[in-house]
Amino acid sequence: MRELVANVAVVAATLLTWVSLIPQLVKLARTGDPEGVSATWPAIGLVSNVAWVVYLSGRGLWAAVPAAVVMALFYGLVIRALALAGKPIRAAVIRGLLWSVGLTGLTVGAGWDGLGAGLVWSYAVQVAPAVYEVYRSSAPTGVSAGTWWIVTAEAALWGVYGWLLADLPIVAYAVVGITSGAVILIRLAAHRRRPAFQVP
């Protein structure tokens, strides 16, 4: 029964993962408005998901590998969409490269345990710029609420999967995903409710 629940959770989480960035991509393509969207978020996300592919493959957790592969591709598309919308991405790409050097060093120096330790923090490192940017912006009009609703639900399902398999990096990912998703959704809701300032 435990294995069945884990398999159902990972399938549902994978399906949500595959579509989570689509609302953000659609919004960027439709409006060309990157306001409130961090470029560092997808740059770190691209690198982290490649690292997840390596980690999951090494641990034999094959059911979770397709989601990480697809997410790496989608984060690449978000970077491209932001660039097309006029968002500066050079600094973000450099941060992504530095993150890849750090994760590679952990893997070479400490093996799977080292990479796993890095991945415990990888999603926090990834979403921190997204949270910062959405709160820094006075009007985060470019951020898609749909993406963050999906991220929150997806993270909850990954949490079930990780808990049932007793895998700390996956559980940590879930906790950070739920928290960051909720924090961003609260900011977006507050912005929508704020009355427009009118000059007398």
**In-domain check, residue 42:** yes
Q: What is the pTM of this model?
A: 0.85
**In-domain check, residue 100:** yes
* Predicted confidence (pLDDT) per residue in 57-89, tens digit: 888 888 778 878 989 999 999 999 999 999 999
Q: Which residue range(s) make up the domain with 118?
A: 2-191
List C-alpha distances in Å: 172 to 15, 117, 183.
20, 10, 17
Number of helices and strands in the chain (H, E): 7, 0
**In-domain check, residue 53:** yes
* Predicted confidence (pLDDT) per residue in 118-132, tens digit: 887 888 999 999 999
C-alpha count within 13 angstroms, C-beta hemisphere, residue 117: 12
The total number of residues written for the chain in this structure:
200
Q: Give the closest residue to 46 by CA, choosing from 64, 72, 17, 70.
A: 72
pLDDT for res 167: 82
pLDDT for res 103: 92
The pLDDT of residue 195 is above 60 = no
**In-domain check, residue 198:** no
